[in-house]
Amino acid sequence: MTFDMNYKAIIFDLDGVICHTDHYHYLAWKQLADKIGVYFDETINNRLRGVSRMESLEIILERYEGEPFTSEEKVSMAEEKNAIYRELLKEMSEKDLSSEVKDTLDQLRAGGLLLGIGSSSKNARFIMGQIGLGDYFDAISDGNNITKSKPDPEVFLKAAEYLKVKPEECLVVEDAKAGIDAAHAAGMDSAAIGDAFGYALSTHHLSTFSDLLKASGVR
Ligand code: B16
Ligand code: MG
């Protein structure tokens, strides 16, 4: 293995990069949408990638034609969705972490890189515990320590601060265009995977997670 250390740290988005919770988000939002009688499908669900819980609710309510909800009602709807979502997350286990992702993370660490999480989710630590990565990362910045969600750079700047590295020393891995925008705004390089693959603003494009070894200079 040769090391070309362009980066000191890699900051990973969680949902859609390390593991896949989109379907659980979909099922939980769908239950809520059906209850209030608003149309919701997988295409609308795709727009919720990387977006905060309350902003996700606003996107779902774009199609709602009834009396406007009060802020309190919206908070209670988001809490209801989260309770359903948390129940579904209990089904996750170490089987939801692919060997490709785990092996790649181990090789990146062996290559001397610091590894952090930059997720909009307030459930990030719970999800990581479920998939066996509870104490794996060097730092976690998530929905609980930010005031503005992606595309604002706050979540990644906080991750860099917790990792004690400069923004320009970080590479962000993201599946959401809003996340690539956030990395760009933070002054960080980015690697796009999944839904964000091919997005012009990203520095690298990953066809598969292990392509990160090349993008990060570890192999
Ligand atoms: P929660 P990420 C994001 O996580 C999800 O992609 C997005 O769909 C979700 O609405 C958001 O977290 C908030 O999640 O309701 O659990 O706080 O992709 O930034 O890791
Ligand atoms: Mg994501």
Common-topology check for domains 9-19+96-215 and 22-89:
no
Give CA separation, 45 vs 1, 62, 96, 99, 151, in Å. Answer: 40, 13, 20, 27, 18
Residues 206 and 215: beta-carbon distance below 8 Å: yes
Please give the sequence-ordered ranges of beta strands (E in DSSP) within 21-137, or none if there are none: 114-118
Residue 40 makes CB contacts below 8 A (sequence gap 6+) with 29, 30, 33, 34, 60, 63
Which among 25, 48, 141 is the best mutation to test ligand 1's pocket, defined by most ligand atoms within 8 Å of the CB? 25
Report d(CA 122, CA 145) in Å as an integer: 9
Could you tell me the distance, in angstroms and rounded to a whole number, from the CA of residue 58 to the centre of ligand 2?
A: 18
Q: Is the per-residue pLDDT at 2 higher than 60?
A: no
pLDDT band at 210 (very low <50, low <70, confident <90, very high): very high
Report d(CA 77, CA 59) in Å as an integer: 13
pLDDT value, residue 1: 32
Domain boundaries, the chain: 9-19+96-215, 22-89
Q: Is the per-residue pLDDT at 99 higher than 90?
A: yes
For residue 22, the ligand 1 atom closest to its alpha carbon is 8
Could you tell me the distance, in angstroms and rounded to a whole number, from the CA of residue 67 to the centre of ligand 2?
A: 32
pLDDT band at 3 (very low <50, low <70, confident <90, very high): very low
Q: What CATH code is assigned to 22-89? A: 1.10.150.240
Please give the sequence-ordered ranges of beta strands (E in DSSP) within the chain, or none if there are none: 9-12, 114-118, 139-141, 170-174, 189-193, 204-206
Q: Which residues surround ligand 2, an ion (CB under 5 A)?
A: 13, 15-16, 50, 175-176
Torsion of CA 117, 123, 128, 129, to 10 degrees: 140
For residue 150, the ligand 1 atom closest to its alpha carbon is 19
Q: What is the pLDDT of residues 37-92, one digit of tens each?
A: 999 999 999 899 888 999 999 999 999 999 999 999 999 999 999 999 999 999 99
Residue 169 makes CB contacts below 8 A (sequence gap 6+) with 7, 8, 9, 160
Which sequence positions are flagged as catalytic? Answer: 13, 15
Residue 170: which of 98, 114, 112 has the closest Cα?
Answer: 114
Q: What CATH code is assigned to 9-19+96-215? A: 3.40.50.1000
Ligand 1, pocket residues at CB < 6 Å = 13-16, 25, 48-53, 56, 82, 119-123, 143, 176
Q: What is the pLDDT of residues 103-140, one digit of tens each?
A: 999 999 999 999 999 999 999 999 999 999 999 999 99
Tokens of 206: 């990953």
Report d(CA 11, CA 117) in Å as an integer: 5
Q: Is the per-residue pLDDT at 5 higher than 90?
A: no
Could you tell me the distance, in angstroms and rounded to a whole number, from the CA of residue 105 to the centre of ligand 2?
A: 17
Average of per-residue pLDDT values in the chain:
95
pLDDT band at 183 (very low <50, low <70, confident <90, very high): very high
Could you tell me the distance, in angstroms and rounded to a whole number, from the CA of residue 219 to the centre of ligand 1?
A: 31
